[in-house]
Amino acid sequence: MQEKNLEEKIIQGKKNGLPVLLGIILMYVAAIIGVVISGTILEYWSNTLLIKMFFTLVITICFIVIAFGWILFCGLKVLKPQEALVLTLFGRYIGTLIGDGFYFVNPFCSSVNPASRTKLSQSGDVKGIGSADSAAASQEAPSKKLSLKIMTLNNSRQKINDCLGNPVEIGIAVTWRIVNTAKAVFSVDNYKEFLSLQCDSALRNIVRLYPYDVAQGVDTTGDGVADEGSLRGSSEVVAARIRDEIQEKVQEAGIEIIEARITYLAYAPEIAAVMLQRQQASAIIDARKMIVDGAVGMVEMALERLDEHHTVELDEERKAAMVSNLLVVLCGNHDAQPVVNSGSLY
């Protein structure tokens, strides 16, 4: 089917299923009554040729109605809210039923949903957690109806190398819905599998642009300037870029991506321990740097206060000794042990 013929056609004015159902029932009742009455009349008026021919014809028509009237039941369709039914007639797309109601369409129409048997880790595909529920769900006939509800696809975790080559494990949840039933059914072979594959592809394309944590000299935006973007610190930005990437790829499948969220992010197990040690070392260095900066500031303040109030006159050698002692006390890991100096420094 050509792209120009994939415009969605909404079938209107077909919510007459209940009158048609009542009509079919009345037709069957009339056919049965006709057979009984015609048989009775033929039994008593069998000598009259004209009457015999007429009621024989009536019985034949009634048997035809009884034998083939069930075909009309195939045209009765029931839809719940936020459900759609794509209909084809002898291979040609004729339209889509959308909205809750009891419909009657051409009984020779067939409904199409290539993803009816596809089960993914998403809302609407999992019927139950227990074994009994799962067995019942597996035996249930797949529905040809398309759900127009907002669905959530929870794709499996993937192992991807970030821009620094470090393997990370990441998982995303994608919220989506069908906005064009004709494209969803006819543009791709299976819109659920197509969406899942495009989510995997978009996730790889975006994650490889970012480091796991902030790294120097890395350009994540493509403007040629290093920035502080990272998977851990810029999760909202990364999720938005993943969402835009998926939307661009599934546009022709009649799917709208509402939101994409990162649900799991961690280093791969083979390097997780090493990276933890690296983070611990970085945290220790940062803490030591803060301690040294504070200690130097306190020493400078102490010397300035002593000079300002002329509390004691210190030459350069005594200042150096005082600075050394204060830094040892302030930067040490253990409490300082006082030493009493009873002699002269010289």
Q: Where are the domains of the chain?
A: 3-111, 144-267, 279-331
pLDDT at residue 338 in the model: 64
Q: What are 320-340's pLDDT values in tens digits? A: 777 777 777 767 666 666 665
Question: Is domain 144-267 in CATH 3.30.479.30, yes or no?
Answer: yes
How many of the other CB atoms lie within 10 Å of CB of 167? 15
pLDDT at residue 229 in the model: 83
Match 């280093």 to its residue by tokens. 267
pLDDT tens per residue across all 346 residues of the chain:
444 457 888 888 778 888 999 999 999 999 899 888 888 777 776 666 777 787 788 888 999 988 998 999 998 999 999 999 999 999 899 999 998 889 999 999 999 999 888 887 776 665 544 444 444 444 555 778 999 999 999 888 888 888 888 888 999 999 999 999 999 999 999 999 999 999 999 999 999 998 888 777 787 887 778 788 888 888 899 999 999 999 999 999 999 999 999 999 888 877 666 667 667 777 777 777 887 788 788 878 877 777 776 667 766 777 777 777 777 776 766 666 666 555 555 5
Joined together, the tokens standing for residue 61 give: 């028509």
Strand partners, 85: 97
Measured between alpha carbons, how far is 212 from 262 in angstroms, rounded to an integer? Answer: 13
- DSSP state letters, 4-20: GG-S--B--S---HHHH
pLDDT at residue 335 in the model: 64
Measured between alpha carbons, how far is 178 from 85 in angstroms, rounded to an integer? Answer: 12
pLDDT at residue 1 in the model: 42
Measured between alpha carbons, how far is 87 from 11 in angstroms, rounded to an integer? Answer: 10
Measured between alpha carbons, how far is 69 from 342 in angstroms, rounded to an integer? Answer: 120
Contact 265, 168 (CB under 8 A): yes
Measured between alpha carbons, how far is 303 from 319 in angstroms, rounded to an integer? Answer: 8
Measured between alpha carbons, how far is 341 from 327 in angstroms, rounded to an integer? Answer: 18
Tell me the chain's radius of gyration from C-alpha atoms.
39
How many whole angstroms from its chain centre is CA 302?
A: 61
Contact 30, 124 (CB under 8 A): no
Contact 81, 152 (CB under 8 A): no
Match 């004209």 to its residue by tokens. 50
Contact 184, 178 (CB under 8 A): yes
Joined together, the tokens standing for residue 342 give: 């009873």
Sign of the C-alpha dihedral computed for residues 146, 151, 156 and 160 taken in this order = positive
Measured between alpha carbons, how far is 167 from 160 in angstroms, rounded to an integer? Answer: 5
pLDDT at residue 134 in the model: 45
Pairing status of strand 146-147 against strand 83-89: antiparallel
State residue 225 phi and psi, 5-degree precision: -115, 130
